[in-house]
Structure 1
Amino acid sequence: MDGVILMEKAWIYHNSYEEYYRNPFGAVTCDREITLRIAVKCNSKIENILLALKKSKDNTETNLQMNFEENKDNYTIYKVTFKTSINPGLLWYYFIIQVNGDKLFYGNNAKQKGGEGQILNTLPPAYQITVYKKNQTPSWYKEAVFYQIFVDRFHNSCGEGKFLSLKDKSLLHSSWNDSPMYFKNPDGSIKRWNFFGGNLQGIIDKLSYLHDLGINAIYLNPIFEASSNHKYDTGDYKKIDPMFGDEETFRDLCKKANELGINIILDGVFSHTGSDSIYFNKEGSYSEIGAYQSQDSPYYKWFKFSNHPHEYESWWGIGTLPNVHELEPSYVDFIIENDDSVIKHWLKCGAKGWRLDVADEQPDEFIKKIRNAMKEYDPESMLMGEVWEDASNKVSYSELREYFWGDELDSVMNYPFRKTLLEYVLGQKDAENTYIDFMSLFENYPKDIFYSTLNLIGSHDVPRILTLLGDAGTEQNLSDYDKEHYRLNGDQFNLAKKRLKLLTLIQFTFPGMPCIYYGDEVGMEGFSDPYNRGTYPWGKEDYELLTWYKKVIALRKNNKIFINGDWEPVFFNKEVFGYIRKDGEKYAYCIFNRNVWEGSKVKINLKQDGNYINLLNTDEIFNNNNKQIEVLLAPLEGKIISNL
């Protein structure tokens, strides 16, 4: 494709993206040879070049001698080969160059995202190499198209204004079209939770819709008994919330979904419980003696009291969410190890995996135990973690996490993907920096993980994607009333839809599993929680968007190149970003113009002879002129160009 613009090399040069300088590229398995090269163009005498290598596992640092290899293109090439440890971890490296009695350093660039480095006379940022144990992600998972459902707001099988069960001190909406809202006490705590009546039977009733859309995996926000509508304040891990249904209904959901080729993933909230729970029982709602009520409670050791009962550690200081000691043996037994542990119980009921809420607040050892228990029961079950940053080098509570070292997560929610795409489509980041961001993840993540991340653009934790893409502005200065009633005007909505089509075209042709937040596919709007958690607008869908989503889902499912194909990112200019997908002799050149007002003409250098068409419009055929084609992109247009 040759869309990457190359700058002239500095007199010292190393580029971790180029396999000549780092072989193999990216993350590597344990006990694997790595060759690193550095190029120097200098009239003065090079006295010595060393590779400084540091291991994250034991924090040891060694210097390896680099030796002359060859002269090439007016540069002198120095090389070193070494073997990774039999244990996983991160390696960090930079170069020490001694010339004319001076000591210089060459390390990672200021962005610390790999690629071409920088020359400094002080210790530089280091390059990262992820070393991992080979582990196979479940095969079904890589081919999944996910749909995230916030259960109370998706579909009410009882009918509008009717409920399977009632809760004390709650607000029940008689109209499905009401706006979600919070009723708070003066201190900001929730006085009344509001409910619309969405339930598991409602999802069963809409399985045909999801199947027709092209969905083959559902990620459910928590479904276990809890006081709130979001259920992240678990009251009983072994009981479906009565407002959602019961265990029999859940089993039926899994069975009927499976018949349509759809797997169900549950949300596991294991770093904290609710204060109104069997285990803590601060509100006295349960007959069992909770940890708040007595130190003799069987659950007392689960929690982190500093002065029983009123002073205890809680999630982000929210008193209704008391934190737990995840490694307390009785808690580990209950959640993971027992024959009918929480993890195993719901897998036996039909779930195919778990998403770990706030994975960075749970110890590595705890996550490893969850994975072991899951894989023992079902090797094809999957474990995904909520991580908002580059998960390969995530530091949490001063500890480097081990998510990708081979014993923990199969996947993570790819929030960096979402952030980068939003910044690109909104004009906040040009194509070159988009390329750098994605290359950094590609370099740091084991390939199997990179092809298995959950690529989301919407979720219950962020504003609705259309609201963001429609230039709605910031919500910080808006009143609750204004946020509740804000809707994009006609021009804004049309702009948002065009941007969303471009963004989802990337999402569904990119490595990893695309995930749709319920209602995004039909034009739902809303600022942050609670306005991003509105009810699905049955009967009021934007069918233009829905048709587009069906088209890009079908494009992905009908072309395995977008699931398993090799991936090579490129950029042509500030506006046009793209990548090549390759599977054998099949190529797909995916190019995108984010400019709202201007089109762009780009030339693509082809890697394969033959005729090429636009997969989105098969009437558009490109003339192959000496392995080069010229492509015109309209404003906010993407094209997927493939050989026949």
Structure 2
Amino acid sequence: MGKIMNYNSWEDKAPFGALLVNQGMKISVNINENYNVHDISWVILKENVEISKVNLLRESKMYYRGEFDGFNDAGVYFYYFDIDIEIDGQIQKKYYGKSLENGETCEYLYENINKYQITVYEDYEVPNWYKEGILYHIFVDRFNNGNRTKKPNSPKPNSFIYGNWEDDPMYIKDNEGNIVRWDFYGGNLKGIIDKLGYLKKLGISIIYLSPVFEASSNHKYDTGDYKKIDPMFGDEETFKDLIDKAEKKGISIILDGVFSHTGEDSKYFNRYNKYDEVGAYQSTDSKYSSWYNFDQHPEKYDCWWGVKALPNINELDSTYMDYIIRDEDSVLRKWTEMGVKGWRLDVADELPQEFIKTFKKELKNVDKDAILAGEVWEDASNKVSYEQRREYLLGKELDSVMGYPFRNNIVAFLKKEITSSQLVNRFMQIKENYPKEAFKSNLNLIGSHDVTRIKTELNEDIDSVKLAVGFQMTFEGVPYVYYGDEAGLCGKTDPDNRKTYPWKNEDEDMIDHYKDLINIRKKYDTLIHGDTKFIGAKNDDIFAFIRERKEEKMVVLINRSENNQNIKLDFEENTLEEIDIKNSLKKYLESIFKENEVFDIDLKAKSLRIFNLKNLKEE
């Protein structure tokens, strides 16, 4: 007899997706006419606590509708349906929740219900400069050395300096796996200044720098002094010069804030007596002592993921909050007032909610147009960390998150691990759960310093890499380019994914591909601000979607197959005008023809095509 009820949250809930506080919603449910249903309830919960039970009203033999006035507080809510149905003369209760694949309903046992999610958020707006931007992530030591001699600035004691810029990176470790000598190439801030012209021509408008504060390592996630630029990178004057010269080219700077831990070799912990300050390791009377947790002073202390070199911070310690956020000369205020336009919070899951909220509030007080992004690896709308439901996207915390789900989805599709319909479902899950501003501000990355380089991930298949870039530059969200990906760098995980930028040995064809697609994105406002609708291509190898804003619509078609494919699209009273990806010029193609309002489109093997959908009534 089939399913008792049919409901799809992607189609039968209004409005679609996340809700503002106090915003009402309506749903409609279709009931199988072969069943005698006595009652249908829409059960709404906060975590596992029921907060409302709405009886759906019957509007016809098969349709039931329900309304809910809205939620008074921001948060992540859930719902399912319970149905009283007559079977063989007896009333039985059935439970319906969300399919694991899409927005459809499935019948479950009560204890195993997969519930629907509703994200309820306070209204907020992310600055346009960020949503309209192209972000470029620079790992400073590996990007460019701006010194005339090409020698590193202020080499650190007992460090390893590579003999050639092109050498492959490696770690020098002891028998226990501890790093005994940090390795450096000599990339610095002056080197970035020298390449601002290149980044501008590429189309970059945001530079996200890996940590630049003084630290022992090459990556600087072991902060030694939050208020000092690492001498190997330069000094405060050079950093200010970078900010100013970048701004003149329309490029904003974002810093990496590492606030869940410091380095053991820091002025705050000072395990190796490097600093004049009395550190927490040296004395329990240190003014920094309350920042850290010692089981037994000084050798046994809480550290980040068991790494002794990274002692954990009590982020809510009042003196730490003052130092980082609230003081007149706080870390946040010092660098933001200098001209930094935003921060990316490292390991946001490790930071308390109150810390992030306080940081966001103060950041906006200093510069209302500054942004706060965060490192979150999963769906950031429903993340549970340390048994606490996080509130990253509810309006008072993050403006943007690292889009690792975006990368995972794209890679899985291009490696043929999922079909195009499964890819649509994955994106729809995120689109349904994220507030609109969060979805439009999502950092759509395909590479970072923590994952395999995209070229290596896709088995050095250049055509597939180009398709991944095509996804980035046409999809909703902020494209995130990891330095060197555009130049054809390969690399497995750390340290192989942190090679130096291959100056004079770049893949010029790939760079041109990035330039062309960035140019197209910037040329068509719809590709930046437009909403996204997915097209059911009925072909496992073709992913298709529409970006639309006001009267303009852009159609994007991606064929991952090694074979030519054909797709038929039905758009009434419209014509398709293709964007030439190579030179960004418009042209009509004879290969596209229309019969009875259906476009018959040929797609070459592993190809991307972008069309501007024009209304015939306007012509």
Does residue 13 of structure 1 match 2:6? yes
Q: Which of 21, 33, 37 pairs up with 1:42? A: 33
TM-score when normalising by structure 1: 0.92
Does residue 293 of structure 1 match 2:258? no
Question: How far did residue 633 of structure 1 move?
Answer: 0.9
Question: How far did residue 121 of structure 1 move?
Answer: 4.0
Cα RMSD (Å) of the superposition? 1.5
Alignment of 1:197-346 (within 5 A): 197-346=186-335
Q: Secondary structure at the match of 2:358?
A: helix
Does residue 70 of structure 1 match 2:60? yes
Match of 2:83? 97
Equivalent position amino acid for 2:106 in 1:
Q
Deviation by residue 1:33-65 (Cα, 9 ceiling, x = unmatched): 111222111334211111111024x94443221
CA distance in 2, matches of 1:571, 1:150: 39
Q: Secondary structure at the match of 1:508?
A: helix
CA distance in 1, matches of 2:321, 2:594: 62
CA distance in 1, matches of 2:407, 2:535: 18
Alignment of 1:116-155 (within 5 A): 116-123=104-111, 124-155=113-144
CA distance in 2, matches of 1:643, 1:186: 62
Match of 1:484? none
Report if aligned partners of 1:160, 1:176 keep a CA contact under 8 Å in 2: no
Q: Which of 349, 354, 360 pairs up with 2:343? A: 354
Does residue 585 of structure 1 match 2:573? no
Q: Which of 549, 560, 563 pairs up with 2:514? A: 549
Question: How far did residue 516 of structure 1 move?
Answer: 0.7
Question: How far did residue 608 of structure 1 move?
Answer: 4.8
Question: How far did residue 611 of structure 1 move?
Answer: 4.8
Report the CA distance shift for 1:189/1:441 in structure 2 as closer, same or farther (over 3 A): same
Equivalent position amino acid for 2:292 in 1:
F
Provide structure 1 residue ranges, at least 5 long, that are not aligned to the other structure.
1-7, 471-492
Match of 1:563? 528
Match of 2:21? 30
Alignment of 1:169-568 (within 5 A): 169-470=158-459, 493=460, 496-568=461-533
Report if aligned partners of 2:43, 2:50 keep a CA contact under 8 Å in 1: no
Equivalent position amino acid for 1:366 in 2:
F
Report the CA distance shift for 1:120/1:248 in structure 2 as closer, same or farther (over 3 A): same
Q: Identity over aligned residues, as a percent? A: 44
Report if aligned partners of 2:182, 2:217 keep a CA contact under 8 Å in 1: yes
Match of 1:5? none
CA distance in 1, matches of 2:387, 2:256: 26
CA distance in 1, matches of 2:469, 2:587: 22
Q: Secondary structure at the match of 1:37?
A: strand
Question: How far did residue 161 of structure 1 move?
Answer: 5.1
Question: How far did residue 610 of structure 1 move?
Answer: 3.5
Question: How far did residue 120 of structure 1 move?
Answer: 2.5
Deviation by residue 1:59-116 (Cα, 9 ceiling, x = unmatched): 4443221111234xxxx111111122221001100000110111111101134xx511
CA distance in 2, matches of 1:548, 1:44: 57
Equivalent position amino acid for 2:494 in 1:
D
Does residue 626 of structure 1 match 2:610? no
CA distance in 2, matches of 1:565, 1:378: 27
CA distance in 2, matches of 1:160, 1:64: 73
CA distance in 1, matches of 2:128, 2:455: 32
Match of 1:82? 68
Report if aligned partners of 1:160, 1:175 keep a CA contact under 8 Å in 2: no
Report if aligned partners of 1:105, 1:122 keep a CA contact under 8 Å in 2: yes
CA distance in 1, matches of 2:587, 2:399: 40
Q: Secondary structure at the match of 1:335?
A: helix
Q: Secondary structure at the match of 1:249?
A: helix
Match of 2:542? 576
CA distance in 2, matches of 1:430, 1:43: 34
CA distance in 2, matches of 1:9, 1:393: 32
Report if aligned partners of 1:161, 1:176 keep a CA contact under 8 Å in 2: no
Match of 1:640? 610
Question: How far did residue 615 of structure 1 move?
Answer: 4.0
Question: How far did residue 159 of structure 1 move?
Answer: 4.5
Equivalent position amino acid for 2:57 in 1:
N
Q: Secondary structure at the match of 1:70?
A: coil
CA distance in 1, matches of 2:484, 2:425: 31
State the aligned residue count: 603
Deviation by residue 1:564-600 (Cα, 9 ceiling, x = unmatched): 11210223111111111112221111111111x2121
Q: Secondary structure at the match of 1:295?
A: coil
Question: How far did residue 500 of structure 1 move?
Answer: 0.9
Question: How far did residue 533 of structure 1 move?
Answer: 0.5
Deviation by residue 1:496-552 (Cα, 9 ceiling, x = unmatched): 211111111111000111011101001011111111111111101111111111000
